[in-house]
Structure 1
Amino acid sequence: MQDIIEIRSQAKRNVIASVLIGLVGLCLASITFSVLPKSLYLIGIFLTSASLVALLIAWVKYREPQFSFLLSRTAILYNHRNGRWQLDWHNIQRIDVPKVTHGVELKSLDMVAIKIKDYSVFLETVSPRLMSNILMEQRPLLFHDMPPSQDCATGSCHSDDMLEHDYFKDSKGIEYKGIQAMFANRMTKLRARLGYDVFIAGSELDRPEQEFVDLLRQCQQRVLATPNSA
């Protein structure tokens, strides 16, 4: 296993291409305004708008970390513009592509999921801003495999299910409050429904989800097989 394996997310790709498209579009728009009659200015306005959107996309891509994941001999390090988390290989119980029931079939989500052993160790590594971001972004996961008792006709139960309590006590008796408690309660809820605690969107990866799962499994196996790796 290499000392560090670097994973670049799909969101980071094509930054230069987006910038070039935006700049070329602005040049074409200025030419359009100077050549075409006023009755056709709508074309120039459209080109300008599209160019500005391309430049905005480029800016968003540029703000993303250079690497979304760094896989070392000790842990997985996840980088996000809102913070980071770290998960030791020894704290991972299971890694897979999560599946949900869709009618009578099982459907794979475009994600990688990890079940961890010890919440307390992991919680201390997650940035508060990243916790808030994950709580918002992963809300749709709560609608998968919802218990029948919560499948109410009014829809109020769904909104209640979006809220997390701001108090959590783990198996060791450690108490958490605030955003850490809300994040831990969300992990507990997702584990009960989907079997995992941490979920990674496919857009954060540089390869298909199953290939990334295989990579993580191989790294973990090599680390655990190495003497004195604990």
Structure 2
Amino acid sequence: MKTRYIKPLTAKPRGILLLLSLSAFLALGLLVFWFPQINSAAVALLLLAAVTLLIIGIKQTQDPEVSFTLTFMHLQFHSPYGGWLARWTNIAEIGPATVAYQGWHQPIPWVGVRLKEYDEFLESICPRIASKILMEQRALLIMAYRRAEHPPHHIEDMLFDDRHYITRSGKTLKGLLAMLANRMKYNRELLGYDFFISEDLLDRPTDDFVGLTRRYLAAC
């Protein structure tokens, strides 16, 4: 299987903002030169807007253009804050995420990933990415909890479970990584998957992405 790159659905303007900010600085300089009597408060506001555009443009040029890389060995996520990596041999299932309610499964715009074991995945994640996953995907667990006829735990216990997690090698994970490991167990119990990929990060519908990843799974 050849290497494939998945880009976010919404492309960022990147260089356009840099160009706009530089143009704003030039226009501001000409404005002050030709009209020295211009109100200083107006100049300050225009300067603030130009600086803001410049900062946003610089930040966006530092963001990765690719959100996921699929190789014959692994699926890898990229972001400005870090990423994660899951080998195909450690992925048990990838599928469209759904929420069950009264016997029906309602599709949601997420792709679910279920792992064979957590250790390797958790070791590939920095605390910042763990925090991002916990915050962005908490709504999915709350939704599943509210629609469950007999929830196995209290929602507060699932959302804030920071009990230490012991890996198979005997390593003790604490803090955000332990919370992520515990959250993944609750996700699997209520949603069938350990963590999820938002459709916003994909350049194609979730079903197409699932089909693509399953071809890599079948080939490994």
Q: List, as ranges, runs of 4+ consecutive aligned residues in structure 1 with deviation greater than 3 Å.
A: 10-13, 21-35, 44-57, 101-107, 147-150, 157-161, 172-176
Stretches of structure 2 that go unaligned for 5 or more consecutive residues are none
Cα shift readout 1:60-98 (whole Å, capped 9, x = no counterpart): 322322422221111112122222211111221221221
- Partner of 1:98, secondary structure, is strand
Cα shift readout 1:134-166 (whole Å, capped 9, x = no counterpart): 22232222211114567xxxxxx6555431223
Q: 1:186 aligns with which of 183, 198, 202?
A: 183
- Partner of 1:126, secondary structure, is coil
Measured at CA, do residues 100 and 149 of structure 1 come closer, stay the same or move farther in structure 2, by a change above 3 Å? Answer: closer
Cα shift readout 1:87-111 (whole Å, capped 9, x = no counterpart): 1112212212212257996543222
**1:139 & 1:66 partners in 2: Cα distance?**
26
Alignment correspondent of 1:117: 116
Q: Given the alignment of the two structures, is residue 139 of structure 1 paired with residue 138 of structure 2, yes or no?
A: yes
Question: Structure 1 length normalisation: TM-score?
Answer: 0.73
Cα shift readout 1:11-61 (whole Å, capped 9, x = no counterpart): 6632112323344455556667766x969x76x777666555544432332
Task: Count how many residue pairs are aligned between Structure 1 and Structure 2.
Answer: 214
Alignment correspondent of 1:209: 206
Stretches of structure 1 that go unaligned for 5 or more consecutive residues are 151-156, 225-230
Alignment correspondent of 2:172: 176
- Partner of 2:111, secondary structure, is strand
Question: Structure 2 length normalisation: TM-score?
Answer: 0.76
Q: Given the alignment of the two structures, is residue 14 of structure 1 paired with residue 13 of structure 2, yes or no?
A: yes
**2:109 & 2:30 partners in 1: Cα distance?**
43
Identity within the alignment, %: 27
- Partner of 1:110, secondary structure, is strand
Alignment correspondent of 1:73: 72
**1:10 & 1:65 partners in 2: Cα distance?**
13
Asked if the contact 1:12–1:62 (Cα under 8 Å) also holds between the matched residues in 2, the reply is no
**2:66 & 2:93 partners in 1: Cα distance?**
23
Summarize the alignment of residues 30-109 of structure 1 with structure 2, pairs less than 5 Å apart. Answer: 51-101=50-100, 106-109=105-108
**1:161 & 1:45 partners in 2: Cα distance?**
49
Q: Given the alignment of the two structures, is residue 195 of structure 1 paired with residue 198 of structure 2, yes or no?
A: no
